[in-house]
Amino acid sequence: MPELTYFVAFLILSRKLILIALGILLLVVGLYIISSSTRRKGARRALYLTLNVVIVDIGLRGILRLLIISALAAILPALRAWSTGGFDTHLFFSILAIAFLATMLLNFLNTNARLRDFFSPKAGRKWLNERKVAQAGIIKKISLHLISGSSPSHEQVSRMLRDILDVIVLHVRDYRGSHNERRREVFANLLIQSGDDELTVVLRDSMSHANQYKRPTPVSYKKSVLACGWAMDRARAVSVGMLSEEYPDTSKDKPYESILALPLFSTDGDTPYGCVSIDCSRPYFFQSFTPDQAENEMENSLQPYLQLITLVLECFIGSSLESKQRALVIAVKPEEGES
């Protein structure tokens, strides 16, 4: 019995010592913070950011909801202890505090975009600002020509289309979590129908023209043997999971293994006039366990850029299929002389 008394006394003393140590630590930290204007400014910033998290990101209603959830989690153990000796207030408030802090943290992680990107980089937000700036720049170029009534040169049309393909690559890499700058494994290509059964690659993204790739344009293929041909015939996105398996006769020197083909539609019709082909060196990059889910999500997320391509072609080349086919000349003209 004396041993139990000593043990209880030790626990009580230990708790007091811990509280005293915490108090001294907080005092030292407080003195350290107020001793410098820079640290005071940092502490104020941290305080207001914390308040923003509580008031803005989570919100007062959110805090109330979290309190109710935490209270429900805490009241059951406290009521269970009631049957053996009354409502355990200490247990109730201890569980309430732990549950509330835990739910607050989980809610903060769920609402904070940067932390979500850190723990799950496949959220499509790492390069969101870069994409917005690039898209705004493309729209500004289009607007300037439309407002002034001037016709852009061949090089300017080509540059606008190339910029859109570059943004598409950035979007796909971001959306699918391909953030390794040393391994840029995604490419984008613009194809225009050039005959009844022929598609011609008129433009590629900037990376495709790097020294290690040098994928030439224009290049024509039979429409019936391309994923873009399937996409245009079916008027929806089509993907190829592994090129070497689905097309064993394909050349082995291709820098990609999977393909996503997205049809392009005129503003006044439902018949595709061309296609954007997105390639990736990683197999099954555009597919998931649910058939067509990844392809449809990607197509929906890329619609603003696909519409921009149509806008450039129809505003500066023409709205008919024949005039769009002139993109075969206009888009590739700046590349003359490239090896």
For residue 97, the tally of other CB atoms under 10 A from its CB is: 12
| CATH architecture type of domain 128-335 | 2-Layer Sandwich (3.30)
Alpha-carbon distance of 32 to 19, in angstroms, equals: 20
Alpha-carbon distance of 316 to 310, in angstroms, equals: 10
Alpha-carbon distance of 175 to 179, in angstroms, equals: 10
Rounded-to-10 torsion of CA 252, 254, 257, 263:
-130
Q: What is the per-residue pLDDT for 190? A: 94
Q: Are 202 and 190 in contact (CB under 8 A)?
A: yes
Of 51-60, 86-95, 204-213, the least confident: 51-60
Q: What is the mean pLDDT of residues 164-179?
A: 87
Q: Could you report the per-residue pLDDT of 301-325, keeping only the tens digit for each?
A: 999 999 999 999 988 888 777 777 7
Give the H or E element holding residue 192.
strand 186-195
Q: What is the per-residue pLDDT for 336? A: 42
% of the chain at pLDDT higher than 70: 72
Looking from the CA of 96 toward its CB, the CA atoms found within 13 Å total 16
13 vs 207, residue with greater confidence: 207
| Closest CA relative to residue 154, chosen from 338, 307, 327, 337 | 327
Residues 6+ apart with CB under 8 A from 6: none
Alpha-carbon distance of 310 to 60, in angstroms, equals: 46
Q: What is the per-residue pLDDT for 196? A: 79
* Biggest alpha carbon–alpha carbon distance for the chain: 100
Q: Could you report the per-residue pLDDT of 243-268, keeping only the tens digit for each?
A: 777 766 666 667 778 899 999 998 87
Q: What is the per-residue pLDDT for 335? A: 44
| Closest CA relative to residue 172, chosen from 216, 205, 218 | 205
Confidence check: pLDDT of 155 > 90: no
Q: What is the per-residue pLDDT for 167? A: 94
Q: What is the per-residue pLDDT for 217? A: 75
287 vs 52, residue with greater confidence: 287
- Domain definitions of the chain by residue range: 1-35, 39-111, 128-335
For residue 261, the tally of other CB atoms under 10 A from its CB is: 27
Sheet with strand 198-204: strands edge to edge? 219-222, 198-204, 186-195, 272-280, 258-265, 238-240
* Band (330; pLDDT cuts 50, 70, 90): low
Pairing of strands 186-195, 198-204: antiparallel
Q: Are 286 and 262 in contact (CB under 8 A)?
A: no
Q: What is the per-residue pLDDT for 337? A: 39
Of 88-102, 162-176, 241-255, the least confident: 241-255
Residues 6+ apart with CB under 8 A from 22: none
Q: Are 47 and 55 in contact (CB under 8 A)?
A: no
Q: What is the per-residue pLDDT for 304? A: 93
User: How is residue 241 annotated by DSSP?
Assistant: S
Rounded-to-10 torsion of CA 98, 100, 105, 110:
140
